[in-house]
Structure formats: structure tokens, C-alpha cells
Homo-oligomer: A and B are copies of this chain.
Amino acid sequence: MTTVVAGSTKLIQKINRLLKLSPEETDAVASLTFQTEQVSHHTLLVREGERVTRCCLLIEGYSVRHKTNRNGMRQIVAIHMPGDMLDLQHLLLDRADHNLQTITNATVGWIEIKRLKKVMLAFPRIAEAFAREALIDASMFREWLLNVGRRDAKTRVAHLICEFVARREAMGDMRAEEVMLPFTQELVGDATGLTSVHVNRMLRRLSEEGALNRQNGAVTIADWQRLRNIAEFDPSYMHQLVEERVGS
């Protein structure tokens, strides 16, 4: 439990993609301090129905938001990566309407909502950046709805992978092709409305068609254009968060 500044580097990068910050505004974000915590995978950070009084910055690792139906079937509604502020919505809504859970070992940083609100009052453009992020999140939910509601299984899986890769690349990671996905097949199923068994079959198909590489369960991109074509992937629904990718 220490305070960190380092954790906010990726946060600042991300905010700058949404809205160019002035030096003072950058300082204001950089001087935010977080109570950091190391958590293992599958840690529930926020539970549906809970009152939330603090926000969580994902510093390292990955997490998802999910809801469950009456039979306990799980629908993942979003995937988060380092630099994402989780629970920004709880600045204005007091109860969580979904669960928030890590899917890998992770480092998170907690901050009181009151303190965040203070910074946003003092620097309206920081507030605007957060609002923009929330609106882009909503756009991504809509795209996921289209994905789950009106695309077949292969396309859905390919689309999920494209989105993830594009976001990670935008985040500044190395060429995304070279990077393995941190997803279990069950997780992909829960995000796409499929079963893990069927996800497995679709991954095989995508690999047979030359879009993906697989070796002992780990997946990498074999052919971005082909994958993207199969996926019907067009990143414009992520607005400023992800630039259109030029090269192959």
C-alpha cells in the first residue's frame, strides 16, 4: 500500500489520445496518487449492487466487466487494459450494475471519488476527457451488441480479437501480431455469447484459414488483413481511442 505516480503514465497517454492536455492539466493528472494493490487473477474488484465510493485505475494486467443471468451464465460486456480508469461511471451513479473482475494477476490503484471530482472541477478539460471516454465505452457496447446479436460465431470471435489487438497497439505495445492473448477460450465465449467448446472450433477454423497462429493454446495474429476482413472490423466505432491502422 504505497502511493505511486508511475501508474498514471499510461493513463496520461490515454487521456492525451482523447484530448490534448496542457502542461498544467498533465501535471494535475500526474500528481494524482493511488493506493496501489497487487491482486491475483479472478479477483472481484466490484460486485453488482455494491455502493462504490472509489475508483480503480488498472495499472498492470487485464480485467473484465460482466453480468450474469438467472442460470448463472456470464456475459462479459467489456475488457480493460492498463491505463483504463474503471468505475468512472460511479462518479455519478452510486450503485454498481455489473461486476468488475481481474482476469490476470494485476496491479490496481485506488482513488477516492471525491478527490477525482475535485480535480475534474478544477480542470474541466480533464472532466471532458473522462466524459469522452465514457461515451466511447458506450459506443463499444453498441458494437458488441451488433457483434453478439447479428454476427456468426467465427466473425464474432475474430472481431473480439481484432478489437483487443487494435486497442493494445494503440496503447503503445509492440506490434500486436507478436503478442499472445491473455484470454481463455471460456472468456472469449463469455464475451461473444458462445460456449468455450465452440470458441475452440472457431479458433481452429481461423487458424486453418490462415488468420491466426496457434501453438499449445497460445494465439497470435498470422494475417491481420485476413482476420480483419473475416471480422468485419472497422475501428471507427472507437473514435479517437484507436487510430485507423495504415499498414498491413
Contacts and interface: CB of A to CB of B under 8 A. Distances in A.
Nearest to A67: B146
Interface in A123-176: 128, 131-132, 134-139, 141-146, 148-151, 155
B97 A151 contact: no
A186 to B, nearest CB: 13
B146 A149 contact: no
A15 to B, nearest CB: 13
A193 interface: yes
B149 A193 contact: yes
Contacts of A10: none
Contact of A97 (B68, B134, B148, B237): B237
Contacts of A237: 97
A239 B146 contact: no
Contacts of A75: 145-146, 149-150
A129 to B, nearest CB: 9
Contact of A132 (B70, B93, B141, B142): B93
A92 B142 contact: no
A226 interface: no
Q: Which of A49, A65, A135, A145 has the most CB of B within 10 A?
A: A145
A43 interface: no
Interface string A45-61: 00001000000000000
Contacts of A149: 75, 148, 192-193
B142 A65 contact: yes
A69 B138 contact: no
A151 to B, nearest CB: 6
A134 B134 contact: yes
B141 A89 contact: no
A100 to B, nearest CB: 12
Interface of A: 49, 65, 67-70, 73-75, 77-78, 89, 92-93, 95, 97-98, 128, 131-132, 134-139, 141-146, 148-151, 155, 192-193, 232, 236-237, 239
| 4 interchain residue pairs of minimum CB distance | A149-B193, A141-B141, A138-B138, A75-B146
17 contacts: A65-B142, A69-B146, A69-B151, A69-B155, A75-B146, A89-B135, A92-B128, A93-B132, A93-B139, A93-B239, A95-B239, A97-B143, A134-B134, A141-B142, A141-B145, A148-B193, A149-B193
